[in-house]
Amino acid sequence: MCGIVGYVGQRPVIDVLLGGLKRLEYRGYDSAGVAFFQDDLIEIRKSEGKLANVEKLMNGSRNSYPDARCGIGHTRWATHGKPTTQNAHPHRTGHVVLVHNGIIENYQEIKRDLISRGHKPQSETDSELFGFLVLEEMENGLGLFEAVRKSFSLLEGQCSVVVMSEREPGTVVGVRNGSPLVAGLDPNGGAILASDAQPILEYTNEVFFLENGDIALCSQGGIQFFDLKTGKKLNREKTKLDWSVDKIDKQGFDHYMLKEIYEQPAALVDTLNGILDRIKTDPFPLAAQPGVKLLDQAKEIIFVACGTSWHAALVGKYWIERLARIPVNVELASEFRYRDPVLNPGALVVGLSQSGETADTLAVIREVKAKGIPTLGITNVRGSTLSREANSVFYTSAGPEIGVAATKTFSTQMLVLLLWAGYLGLKKSNLEELFHDIVKLPHQIEDALSESNGMVAAIKDAARGLQKAKGFFFIGRGFSFPIALEGALKLKEIAYVHAEGYAAGELKHGPIAMIDQDMVVVVLAPQDSWRDKTVSNLQEVKARGAKILAVGGGLDQNLKELSDFWIPLAPSTEALLPFVMTTVVQLLSYELAVLKGTDIDKPRNLAKSVTVE
């Protein structure tokens, strides 16, 4: 996910920018750059790949421009255009230089208008276009601050920008509208802006969290906040972050599990970077790796897994069968290994395990491999037993997961399977669009998780209202069924509350007898092809007195009216809905566990890797 740092003050700016970007590296990126004032002119250094490439462009030293005191920096996760140096930020348009995080949804319209007025954008990005709008306003006589404010009103979508102009050296203007932006005052004079508090904590532990619709004006004198729409001055309160060492480790979150839920956008970025070859032309091929060959040869895929990984495989089955028309079976490793299953020639057995050490999954891989059946592993741990013993391996790149409950590893497992489905399906149909949607997924999850979106607040309300419930059913159809299973598992394991996941159509075949006013039914009914059928099942349990917590499309008024608690989802393409719903069931379990006071990161009786059968 893109990361932003902006600074003006008394310190050498290159050091502040590169140090700050380093702290944002965890967000995942594929190119980086900085822009800084050298006297009254702005210099830009940017490169594809890692931040170290930018450092090399600074004559290998952060101290090579010791007098520069004002600048902006960026790490880019490419959504519009490939991850090349030309598309990297900062972008220059005449005397205007900017960095941007998020998506400008109406960029095609803006681009058309700009071209018709004689402008020539140099990159493939949506971001660069904003510079032209600011430039035009400045040419019409506005100052930088007003030009940014006016131009921003033309943008649709969720994004943040930070802008400078050679006409106003020593001024940095930042806008937040969606993607997070945090500010701090440098005790030595000046101000710093960044995508999260980490780069700022180095200088001060008092920070301002910009709200959506805030515009900040930074100079040597400090920082002022204004309302983007009206231009009126705002008073933004400082927040003191007196984090303990433990909390710094958890980056301010109360638990690792919560931190890891919020790390999902970055985990998705890193996994995409590891598996897709995005430098090649669209649609992006899977990066060359031996496992791809095994996939190509598979006539049938058998997933073996346990727990949450098994749920990810179930989602994968829906995708692979639907998009690639290859038969898929999903097996519990502990059952499969003792069942003497039939293995057809052409079968590929895939062990799915975040730890790569789960005893039952490994046993299956060993046994089928000994029978000459090709095996693949999908794991988050490099060097794990699964990665060494399967014929080949795909890695998720979720980073270390400390909380025992699997969260970000689950999302990244689903992502690998969606990429497989897309890759295998591409040979048969036109799935370019899917790949374009997938690269926007991390942004979409970041937006869904942002406090301003409304989803998180609704989940907290629901948890407060339901904390005394005696039991939960999670129901869904299609992709939502495995997510229902995952929701129930999460609630059991971290909140110790009895919960069951069910295919919505199955309830009336027995479990509906359990339904009364003490039972909560969590209905996963997003706007997809199964929505109406799931809503019919909702009616059946509602008629029997169940409390309904419905999760659905934000505009689904009908579903909202049927529910006692309502969690709206942001719009999403059907293929990406499981990822958004996953964040809902994870956070719901987390909030209920907080209210119950359980040991969230180390639930009783559980271990992170289950190395016994």
Would you count residue 307 as binding ligand F6R (CB under 6 A)? Answer: yes
Task: Please count the other Cβ atoms lying within 10 Å of the Cβ belonging to residue 121.
Answer: 18
Rounded CA-CA distance 278/82 in Å is 6
User: Helical H runs in 158-201?
Assistant: 198-201
Kindly state whether residue 582 participates in binding ligand F6R, applying the rule CB under 6 A. no
- Whether 2 is catalytic: yes
Q: Which of 219, 358, 537, 586 binds ligand F6R (CB under 6 A)?
A: 358
User: Largest Cα–Cα distance in the chain?
Assistant: 79
CB closer to ligand F6R out of 193 and 381: 381
DSSP for 453-464, written as a single string: GSHHHHHHHHHH
- Over the window 373 to 412, marking each residue x when it contacts ligand F6R by CB under 6 A and - when it does not, the resulting string is --------------------------------xx------
Answer yes or no: 608 catalytic.
yes
Q: Is 127 or 353 the residue whose CB approaches ligand F6R more closely?
A: 353
Q: How many CA atoms lie within 13 A of 177 on its CB side?
A: 23
334 binds ligand F6R (CB under 6 A): no
Of the listed pieces 208-216, 265-273, 349-357, 515-523, which binds ligand F6R according to CB under 6 A?
349-357
Residue whose CB is less far from ligand F6R, 360 or 447: 360
* # residues contacting ligand F6R (CB under 6 A): 15
**Cβ closer to ligand F6R: 380 or 450?**
380
CB of 499 to ligand F6R, least distance (A): 13
Q: How far is the CB of 390 from ligand F6R (least distance, A)?
A: 13
443 burial type by CB count under 10 A (0-12 exposed, 13-18 middle, 19+ buried): buried
Q: How far, rounded to the nearest angstrom, does the alpha carbon of residue 387 sit from its chain's CA centroid?
A: 25
Which of 125, 165, 264, 354 is close enough to bind ligand F6R by CB under 6 A? 354
Burial of 245 (0-12, 13-18, 19+ CB in 10 A): exposed
Q: Does position 306 bind ligand F6R by CB under 6 A?
A: yes
Q: Which of 2, 70, 218, 306 is catalytic?
A: 2
Q: Does 493 bind ligand F6R (CB under 6 A)?
A: yes
Determine the residue with CB nearest ligand F6R.
Answer: 307
Stretch of 130-138, 306-314, 368-376, 591-599 lying at the interface with ligand F6R (CB under 6 A): 306-314
Candidate ranges 13-21, 249-257, 301-309, 342-350; the one touching ligand F6R (CB under 6 A): 301-309
162 bridge partner residues: 99, 174
Smaller CB distance to ligand F6R: residue 492 or 544?
Answer: 492
Indicate the DSSP class of residue 330: E
Phi-psi region of 141 (alpha: psi -120 to 50; beta: other; left: phi over 0): left
Please classify residue 424 by burial: count the beta carbons closer than 10 Å to its beta carbon, then call 0-12 exposed, 13-18 middle and 19+ buried: buried
362 lies in the binding site for ligand F6R (CB under 6 A): no
Burial class of residue 232 in the structure, from the number of CB atoms within 10 Å of its CB (0-12 exposed, 13-18 middle, 19+ buried):
exposed
- Please report which helix (H) or strand (E) contains residue 593, including its range: helix 577-596
586 binds ligand F6R per the rule CB under 6 A: no
Which is nearer to ligand F6R, 125 or 353 (by Cβ)? 353
Residues 6+ apart with CB under 8 A from 255: 403, 590, 600, 601
Q: Is 366 exposed, middle or buried (0-12, 13-18, 19+ CB in 10 A)?
A: middle
Amino acid at 76: R
Site for ligand F6R in 202-241 (CB under 6 A): none
* Nearest approach, Cβ of residue 256 and ligand F6R (Å): 13
Q: Does 365 bind ligand F6R (CB under 6 A)?
A: no
DSSP 140: T
Options 309, 387, 537, 563; binder of ligand F6R; rule CB under 6 A: 309
Q: How far is the CB of 596 from ligand F6R (least distance, A)?
A: 17
* Residues 358 and 333 sit within 8 Å (Cβ to Cβ): yes
- Rounded to a whole number of angstroms, the minimum distance from the CB of residue 307 to ligand F6R is 2
Angle at 305 between CA 300 and CA 307, to 5 degrees: 140
Using CB under 6 A as the criterion, what x/- string covers residues 453-492 for binding ligand F6R? ------------------------------------x---
Q: Which residues, other chains included, contact 451 with Cβ-Cβ below 8 Å and sequence gap of 6+?
A: 457
Among 355, 375, 387, 589, the residue binding ligand F6R under the rule CB under 6 A is: 355
d(CA 276, CA 88): 19
For ligand F6R, the binding residue among 165, 353, 534, 586 (CB under 6 A) is 353
Q: How far is the CB of 94 from ligand F6R (least distance, A)?
A: 52
Residue 385 beta carbon to ligand F6R: minimum distance, rounded to whole angstroms? 11
Annotated catalytic residue within 111, 369, 560, 608: 608
> Measured in whole angstroms, how far is the alpha carbon of residue 348 from the centre of its chain?
30
Catalytic residue positions?
A: 2, 608
Query: Could you list the residues that contact ligand F6R (CB under 6 A)?
Result: 306-309, 353-355, 358, 361, 405-406, 489, 493, 609-610
